[in-house]
Amino acid sequence: MEIKNLKRLQTALVVGTVSVLGTTAGWAKDAKVAYIPCGQVNDGSWSEAGYDGVKAAKDALAKSGTNITIDYTENLSPSQAEVAARDYATKGYQTVVLHCGTFANAAYNAGKDFPNTNFLIVVAPKSVKNVWTYIPAMQDISFVAGYLAAKMSKSGAVGVVASFNFSNITWQAEGFRLGARYGNPKIKTYSNYINSFDDAGKAKEAAQAEIDSGADIIYSATDQASRGIYAAAEANGDLAIACYSDQSNLSPKTVLASALANIPLLVENMVSDSVAGKLVADKVYSVGMAGGIGELALNPELAKTIPPEVAKEVQSLMASIKSGQIKIPAFSEPGQSEQYDLNGLKSK
């Protein structure tokens, strides 16, 4: 009897030690990853892009032998996000991804109390200990979108409709306007903030206001509300440029191109590095085109309408930004791009 019990005790000890060792963050063979976005994972926009990244990380890690399981919670207020983050950390999740700007406090607070879990937070001020922030520097690709719009505009005016006057969104809007000036110094650019992520009706009227003032290509910096922009563009025979994901199939006749922030790629890299323990301490992962974040996906149907010289110029512009020859500034205030001296773009 005693020998059997001893053996059981031994097995339990071994199993226990292995599982304890196995759940230490950093070099787990099997890990649990939690994903907490702003909205829903099938919204076709910001939240879905992040989810695609987490899924891509799962595939990438599986190839190198690490299996991760993904769980997500949607549509949380900032306070509930903290509850969720803490709960996941308590349950032993290795990485918790908070893919929403308003969840910064949740990440830092949870990070303090759960030092063994990695927290990834998007668009936050700093990385501290076990909390890392990743920032897609979308002004780069928005600049390229603006350049393309200016070259393709027949009316000499383009516009952007943005959701909120929050930093990383204003970067996109002003980046677009700057790029448009770079493509055509005489271009007129408009911007409109609708104070909503999902009010498609307002987005439509904002786009229409710009179209009525002469703009014929509208850039979307509005998440799901961009549907309204496409409706307005379609009604007037104008074009639109989408953001965050390739949306050509949503409105094939109006979406000229999509400014991909490669959010999936950024999130994938972050999650993979986090699970493998490769994240650099206290580093803010602000990644622009030089780091692979930023691609222009052309609408196959409308790509033929782009003159070949324009297409070539866009390519070389993207190459310059990737190599660092041209640095795109990040403007946090609407209208700042109008006064900026274009010569300052080229880094010495």
Partner 1 sequence: MTLSSLIELSFWIPLLAAGVRVATPLVFASLGEAVSERAGILNVGIEGMMALGAIVGFLVAYWSGHSWVGLLAAAMAGLVASLIFGFLTIFRGADQIVTGIVMNILLLGLSSLAYASIFSSAHVVAQLTAIPVFRVPWLSDLPVIGRPFFAQSPIVYAVYLLIPVFWLLLEHSHWGLSVRAAGENPEAVDSAGINIWYLRLQAVSIGGAMAGLAGAILAVVQIGAYVDGMIAGRGFIALAIVVFGGWRPWRVAAAALLFGVVDAFQLRLQVSGVPIPSPFLIGMPYILTIVVVAFVAGRAGYPAAINKPYPLRHFSRSARKLIPADTAVVHPLPQEHS
Partner 2 sequence: MSMSVDTPDADRWRPYLLGAGLVLASMTLTGLVLLPIGINPISAYVQILKGAFGSLNAVTEDLVYATPIILTSLSVILAFRCGLWNLGSDGQLYLGAIATVGLGFNRFGLPAPALLPAMAIAAFAAGAVWAALPAVLRLRFGASEVIVTIMMNFLAVTIATYLVGGPWASGITPATAPIVPDGFLPVLIPGTRLNANFLVAIAAAAILSFVLRRTVFGYRLRTIGQNIGAARYAGMPVNRIRFLSFACAGGLAGLAGFGEVAGIYHNLPNGLSPGFGYTGIVVALLARLNPLWAVIVAFALAALNVGSGGMQRAMGIPVSLVSIMEAVLILLVLSTRLLERRA
List of residues contacting partner 2 (CB under 8 A) = 34, 71-80, 82-84, 86-88, 90, 101-102, 104-105, 109, 113, 123-125, 135, 164-168, 195, 332
* Pick 96 or 229: Cβ nearer partner 2: 96
Which residues are CB-contacts of 23 (< 8 A; sequence separation ≥ 6)? 92, 94
| Binders of partner 1 in range 248-267 (CB under 8 A) | 249-252
Using CB under 8 A, pick the residue from 71, 205, 295, 313 that binds partner 1: 205
**Rounded least distance, CB 232 to partner 1, Å:** 9
The site partner of 164 among partner 2, partner 1, none (C-beta below 5 to 8 Å per kind) is: partner 2
| Binders of partner 1 in range 316-345 (CB under 8 A) | 333-335
Look-up: residue for tokens 């709960």?
87
- Specify the DSSP class assigned to residue 249: G
* Pick 73 or 336: Cβ nearer partner 2: 73
Give the residue among 322, 327, 260, 320 at the shortest CA–CA distance from 291. 322
Handedness of CA 244, 249, 254, 256 (dihedral sign): positive
x-or-dash pattern for partner 1, window 32-61, by CB under 8 A?
-------xx-xxxx--x-------------
How many residues are given for the chain?
A: 348
Q: Does 201 bind partner 1 (CB under 8 A)?
A: yes
**Rounded least distance, CB 332 to partner 1, Å:** 12
User: Cα 27 to the chain's mean position, in Å?
Assistant: 27
How many Å apart are CA 185 and CA 174, to the nearest integer? 15
The site partner of 228 among partner 2, partner 1, none (C-beta below 5 to 8 Å per kind) is: partner 1
How many Å apart are CA 75 and CA 180, to the nearest integer? 35
Q: Does 108 bind partner 1 (CB under 8 A)?
A: no
Say if residues 331 and 171 touch (Cβ distance below 8 Å): yes
- Specify the DSSP class assigned to residue 279: P
The site partner of 24 among partner 1, partner 2, none (C-beta below 5 to 8 Å per kind) is: none
How many Å apart are CA 262 and CA 72, to the nearest integer? 20
Give the residue among 116, 56, 29, 23 at the shortest CA–CA distance from 269. 56
- Which residues contribute to the site for partner 1 (CB under 8 A)? 39-40, 42-45, 48, 159, 165, 188, 190-202, 204-206, 208-210, 212-213, 224-225, 227-228, 230-231, 234-235, 245, 247, 249-252, 333-335
